[in-house]
Amino acid sequence: GESVGLHLPTLSVQEGDNSIINCAYSNSASDYFIWYKQESGKGPQFIIDIRSNMDKRQGQRVTVLLNKTVKHLSLQIAATQPGDSAVYFCAENNAGNMLTFGGGTRLMVKP
């Protein structure tokens, strides 16, 4: 499949370990943040979102943390599986519904 980006930071984890992917956002006025997963040859897939009035939100095996003070967002994946291997993007929603994406992090899960 297509390569999303050749120069992405890469996080390599062992299957079963927890993964933490970090993201810094730019606009302090952003009120909605989303994490997307993009597998090779596919479009970004919604994982989890969080609004600016929250600092933590949990989904199935995923947790998003938001620190507005330092404009930082993280995605935690519990018990990482080979199927989690993908590129992960954070996105901030500002000025209506316009998403600004971060550069992406490639997650590689070693069996």
Partner 1 sequence: DSGVTQTPKHLITATGQRVTLRCSPRSGDLSVYWYQQSLDQGLQFLIQYYNGEERAKGNILERFSAQQFPDLHSELNLSSLELGDSALYFCASSDPMDEQYFGPGTRLTVT
Applying CB under 8 A, which residues contact partner 1? 2-6, 32, 34, 36, 42-46, 49, 89, 91, 93, 95-104
In the complex with partner 1, the residue whose CB is nearer, 101 or 110, is 101
Least distance from partner 1 to the Cβ atom of residue 12, Å: 21
Q: Please, are residues 37 and 53 in contact by the beta-carbon 8 Å criterion?
A: no
Least distance from partner 1 to the Cβ atom of residue 93, Å: 7
In the complex with partner 1, the residue whose CB is nearer, 25 or 89, is 89
User: Residue 53: which residues within 8 A CB-CB, separation 6 or more?
Assistant: none
In the complex with partner 1, the residue whose CB is nearer, 40 or 67, is 40
Order of strands, sheet of 56-58, starting from the edge strand that comes earlier in the sequence: 19-24, 72-77, 62-67, 56-58
Distance CA 85, CA 42 (A): 13
In the complex with partner 1, the residue whose CB is nearer, 18 or 45, is 45
Least distance from partner 1 to the Cβ atom of residue 104, Å: 7
Least distance from partner 1 to the Cβ atom of residue 101, Å: 4
